[in-house]
Structure 1
Amino acid sequence: MKSHHPPLEHGHFYHIYNRGINSCKLFRETTNYEHFLGLYNKYISSVADTYAWVLMGNHFHLLVQIKKEDEIGIYESLNADRSNDSVRFQTTTNLSESEGPDKVKKPTVHRHFSHLFNAYTKYFNPKYNRTGKLFETPFSRIKITSEAHLKFLVYYIHHNPIHHGFCEHYLDYPWSSYLTILSPKKTHLKRDEVLQWYREADCFKQYHSKQSIEKFLELQIDKPY
């Protein structure tokens, strides 16, 4: 299926996904998954809310909503030093290079994702004695415009480890949002909003157990990784 790369508009939902260049591995051991999630929180949490995610061996899927412009705020200029992940501007919670006047910078959302991928590449390459690009570019994104698509996309993201033979049940795979959505522990994930799409946790679990991956053919989900 042809992949589209629409602009990331404030207030809208997107399915964002990407894989290693030439399908190379992105995650080789537990610390890789943990490091990526830490960087994800650093670079993405201030510009987007996350509703579902999964990290696979050579690719990942995210369901996010780009925050409204007035929710993101501005960045204060620090200095001209570009040595730290090409970052020049800082808020209290995040770093990003942005557009705007010298002293007041408005964030450019796609650059937050670029900084995430660049920072992870700078961590991954020396660790495994490799050079060059790690992720395919541009990263893929599909705008979500219906609740039916949102609900199935959550299922599709959580089904990925089963589809690729990593496990037989969602509970058995640790690197997805399935367990977090059903957990009472504090999280940045928009858990309550996700459960509201299915009315309650039991309906969420039932939906996951009954849906079929064949519905992939009915909705624009992604190109198969």
Structure 2
Amino acid sequence: MKLENLEKDYYYHIYNRGINADIIFASDANKIYFLKLYKKYLAEKVSTFAYCLLSNHFHVLIRVEKEPKEVIQAFSNLFNAYAKAFNKQQERTGSLFEKHFKRIRLHNEEYLKKLVIYIHLNPQLHLSENFERFRFSSYQTIISKKETSLNKKKVIALFDDLQNFEYTHRHRSLELEEKFKLE
């Protein structure tokens, strides 16, 4: 698979998983640490619009704000720092993540909206967990009044307002539930 080049001022779906689909987050503390490193390495280089961390993979929706080489290096620093800490904690060696993080450039606002919902519904899709209560996605952050480095205003504006943001997520969630009941 040819990797998409990152370009400044464009939106990207960034994702990766553990090598051989293994666990990359063994605990909530691991997820908290990953988010702390993400902020350390990437907060000044990208705008973040959505994220979700599951036990064996993650998704992030970003807009590249700095030069692409800086952003790629920042992701590399994040993954290396996290892998070293995780390997030490878990008494393991070797690669933690699949070789290269995947990235898909978004080409229109409709896809951007669908991706925000997809990322937030990941706990339901993969774990059969309620996406609204899942701690390690940006959904709760977006609906809260807390200050955050997440670009909440832009995300909410995509859906016109907060009520429509919540409605479209719940509506899509119910559609998924119905689909899985029929299969």
Match of 1:91 in 2: none
Whether the 8 Å CA contact 2:133–2:140 is kept in 1: the answer is: no
User: How far 1:211 sits from its partner (Å)?
Assistant: 2.5
- Match of residue 85, structure 2, among 104, 116, 123: 123
| CA separation of 1:124 and 1:213: change in aligned 2, threshold 3 A | farther
SS at match of 1:17: strand
Taking the aligned partners of 2:66 and 2:58, their CA distance within structure 1 comes to 24
1:66 matches 2:64: yes
Q: Is there any run of 5+ residues in structure 2 with no aligned partner, and where?
A: 177-183
Whether the 8 Å CA contact 2:50–2:137 is kept in 1: the answer is: yes
Match of 1:37 in 2: 35
1:12 matches 2:5: no
Q: Give runs of ≥4 in structure 1 deviating > 6 Å.
A: 212-215
User: How far 1:206 sits from its partner (Å)?
Assistant: 1.0
Larger Rg: 1
Match of 1:112 in 2: 74
User: How far 1:213 sits from its partner (Å)?
Assistant: 9.7
User: How far 1:210 sits from its partner (Å)?
Assistant: 1.8
Aligned length: 176
Match of 1:76 in 2: none
Higher helix share: 2
| CA separation of 1:213 and 1:63: change in aligned 2, threshold 3 A | farther
Taking the aligned partners of 1:20 and 1:165, their CA distance within structure 2 comes to 16
RMSD over aligned CA atoms reads: 1.9
Q: Is there any run of 5+ residues in structure 1 with no aligned partner, and where?
A: 70-105, 216-225
Q: Which amino acid aligns with 1:179?
A: Q
Q: Percent identity?
A: 42
SS at match of 1:15: strand
- Match of residue 181, structure 1, among 142, 159, 177: 142
Whether the 8 Å CA contact 1:4–1:140 is kept in 2: the answer is: no
Whether the 8 Å CA contact 1:18–1:136 is kept in 2: the answer is: yes
| CA separation of 1:203 and 1:33: change in aligned 2, threshold 3 A | same
Q: What is the TM-score when the length of structure 2 is the normalising length?
A: 0.91
Match of 1:57 in 2: 55
